[in-house]
Amino acid sequence: MPNDKERLAIYQFMKEIIKERSDLSKQYYDLKTELYQLNERENNGPVKLKSVLTILDHEKNKMQHYNSFDQVSRTIVSILKQLSVPLSKKQIIGKLTNKNELSITLKNLTCTISIKNE
């Protein structure tokens, strides 16, 4: 008889251990899922920022096409009048993009603007 009580007590402890282990496993997987979601949110942050920057770059590129010939040519003339020495085309582009925030390429300047001004 004393063995039966001992046996029942051991079985009871084993059931409690199994239940506790099950609860711990559930908590472990819940925490693991939460950590995975946090990592996903963290990894998605820069991607969203990158897509926003890409949209801004796209808008900037779209605006590059709207620089009128008159505006660019007047700006170039005023830059050249301010300086007493002639500038190369690369230097002109540098001044246009840095000071006047006009977006123009060397090819565009060479093929379009300098030909019309000659």
With a CB cutoff of 8 Å and minimum separation 6, the contacts of 87 are 79, 80, 95
Torsion of CA 73, 79, 80, 84, to 10 degrees: 170
Q: How distant is the alpha carbon of residue 99 from its chain centre?
A: 26
Question: What's the length of the chain?
Answer: 118
Check whether 56 has a pLDDT greater than 80: no
- For residue 99, the one-letter residue type is K
pLDDT of 62 over the 70 cut? no
Q: Residue for token digits 């002639």?
A: 86
Contact call for residues 109 and 67 (beta carbons, < 8 A): no
Overall pTM > 0.85: no
Residue 106: both structure tokens together: 């060397």
Residues of the chain with pLDDT > 70, as a percent, come to 69
pLDDT in tens, 74-83: 888 888 888 8
**C-alpha to C-alpha distance for 106 and 95, rounded to whole angstroms:** 12
Is the model's pLDDT at 15 over the cut of 90?
yes
Q: What are the residue boundaries of the structural domains of the chain, listed by start?
A: 1-66, 67-118
Nearest one of 90, 97, 88, 87 to 64, comparing CA atoms: 97
- Report which of residues 82 and 101 the model is more confident about: 82
Mean pLDDT over each residue of the chain, to the nearest integer: 77
Place of tokens 């230097």: 91
